[in-house]
Structure formats: structure tokens, C-alpha cells
Homo-oligomer: A and B are copies of this chain.
Amino acid sequence: MADPSDRSFSEPDEEIMQATYRALREHGYADLTIKRIADEYGKSTAAIHYYYDTKEDLLVAFLDFLLERFVDSIHEVETTDPEQRLNLLLDELLVAPRENRDLSVALLEMRSQAPYKEAFSERFQQNDEYIRYMIKAVINHGIDEGVFEDVDAEHVTRALMTIVDGARTRSVVLGEGELETARQAAAEYADAMLR
């Protein structure tokens, strides 16, 4: 799997991604059209089709873009302390989305379409793999340093991502308090397994 930090969005790409971001937040996934993205972009639909053949292609690129932003936010952090890094990853996954309810709504719609759209399915799979790779690296680092118990890092990582995805779904379906519950549950689970 390619490191998303190897991929960088060119300037028009970046602008189209920002326009997609705004259009998704405003209209949701089902009502998203290239026309609406073009309106946010301030150019014609042809200007978007120059880069992306279909709405699906554009949305797959948008999922890359979200992963890249996530990875950037993690790379900015300087600490190498495993406990701090794990907390930071969980904060990025469970605290940051609180400001982005509309985006979470659109992403859940896209997730629900994964069984019907192979390109979405692949991208969600890859993004999940990449985030698990980051979490697992931190857990293994902590094990090597002797600050974490010698656990099955793959399993603990998947369990934490299950809590993250539960929070993502519950915050959309049931309300935002769910992210806070999940952040606490993730900390409790990590504590119980790793210390």
C-alpha cells in the first residue's frame, strides 16, 4: 500500500478537494453532483471533468485527501513517546471529528455504499489498513520499550478501530455525545490491554 504522504495534491486538485469538502458538508452524499462541486469551486463542471471522469473517481480521490490530511496531522507531532502518540492518534480519530458532523454524515453514507461500489470499498479498506498500520507501529514500539504489555498488537489495533468506527456510526445516528463515550472507552480498553 502506498504511503499517502508520497502522494501530494496539485494546486487545482487541492482546490477541487476543498470544494468537494464544502459541497459534501452542505448537500450530503446522495444529493452531491459535479455541478454543486463546480459551484463551490467557482468554475465550470468541465474544469472538474478535466481532472476527474466521474463523481465516483472524484470521491475516491477525496477519500485519499482525507487520509492525507489525517496523516499530516499526525506527522506534525514531534513526540516519540508511545503512550503520548497512542493518545494523540485516538484524539485525532475521536475528538477532532466533533467539529465535522456534516462530513461524518456524508462519510457514513459513502461507507454504506461500499458493498455496491468497489472503488469505495477498496479505498475504505486501504485507509483503514493505513491507520491500523500507524496504531500498530505505536503499540509495537511501546512493547519494545517495555512500557506496554506484550499483547497481540494486531488484535488490539482492530479492537480500537472497532471503537472508532462505532463512534463514527453512533455519532451520526444517535448524536455527538457518543464520541466522548468512545474516547473514554478506547482509553479504558487500551489501559486494560497494554498496562
A binding-site residues for B, Cβ under 8 Å: 28, 30, 105, 108-109, 111-116, 121, 124-125, 128, 155, 158-159, 161-170, 172-174, 178, 181-182, 184-185, 188-189, 191-193
Contacts and interface: CB of A to CB of B under 8 A. Distances in A.
Contacts of A166: 161-167, 169
A65 to B, nearest CB: 19
B181 A192 contact: no
A105 B111 contact: no
Contact of A170 (B30, B115, B116, B161): B161
B165 A169 contact: yes
- Nearest first, the 7 closest Cβ-Cβ pairs linking A and B are A166-B166, A192-B192, A159-B185, A162-B166, A112-B112, A165-B166, A108-B112
A1 to B, nearest CB: 14
Contacts of A108: 111-112, 169
Contacts of A116: 28, 30
B124 A172 contact: no
Contacts of A174: 124-125, 128
